[in-house]
Amino acid sequence: MKKLQAITDYLLNLNMVAAENIDAWAENARFVGVAKDMGNDGMVLFRLHYTAAIVIERFPHQEHPAELLFGHVIAWLMDNDDLREELALDPPETDIDILDNQTADLEINIDFVEDVEIIQDAAGPLRLNGERYRLAPVRIDYALEGEVTT
């Protein structure tokens, strides 16, 4: 659940709230088999669908408006979640519980979809069609130049 970890790290690095006041986990995880050959002895094994739940306690809403935090979340999604538009994922849902004039508890729920990739590895823990694999991103080779003839 790389996207959950990445957005949580991003929010922590904003220094808008103490690290001990942020908690994040995945809910409703489900996977859809894909088994798409990516070349270079690797493949997308499945797509992982889940809801990231991010809870921020005692958020200082007078010092940092909640809209600013939500703006950071949306900007991160636009820059880092390339499947979001393609799959027409729902926008994040939020819940705000005002505790007092200074602080609020916030909950942000974000639907994510991630490809889980594997590569061949003789010592890998996964066995598929008589071959062994391990979890790892598949290296993609791109042509840097080419020639077109008609």
Question: How crowded is the C-beta side of 4, counted as CA atoms within 13 Å?
Answer: 23
Q: What is the mean pLDDT of residues 13-32?
A: 95
Residues linked to residue 94 through DSSP beta bridges, in sequence order: 108
Q: Provide the percentage of residues in the chain whose pLDDT is more than 90.
A: 75
- Tokens of residue 21, six digits: 């006041």
Q: What is the mean pLDDT of residues 12-38?
A: 91
Residue 137 pLDDT class (50, 70, 90 cuts): confident
Q: What is the mean pLDDT of residues 76-99?
A: 93
Q: Is 3 exposed, middle or buried (0-12, 13-18, 19+ CB in 10 A)?
A: buried
pLDDT digits (tens, 9 = 90+) for 113-135: 999 999 999 999 999 989 999 99
Amino acid at 101: N
pLDDT at 144 over 80: no
Tell the residue number behind the tokens 């942000």, with chain if given.
108
Residue 49: domain span: 2-135
Q: What is the mean pLDDT of residues 53-65?
A: 96
pLDDT at 25 over 80: yes
Tell the residue number behind the tokens 């991630």, with chain if given.
114
Q: Is residue 110 part of a domain?
A: yes
Q: DSSP states of 113-137 as a string?
A: EEEEEEEE-TT-SEEETTEEEEE-P
Q: Is residue 6 part of a domain?
A: yes
**pTM of the prediction?**
0.82
Q: Is residue 114 part of a domain?
A: yes
Element (H, E) at 93: strand 93-98
Count of structural domains within the chain: 1
- Average pLDDT across the chain, whole number: 92
Report CA torsion sign: 62, 9, 43, 140: positive
pLDDT at 149 over 90: no
Residue 91 pLDDT class (50, 70, 90 cuts): very high
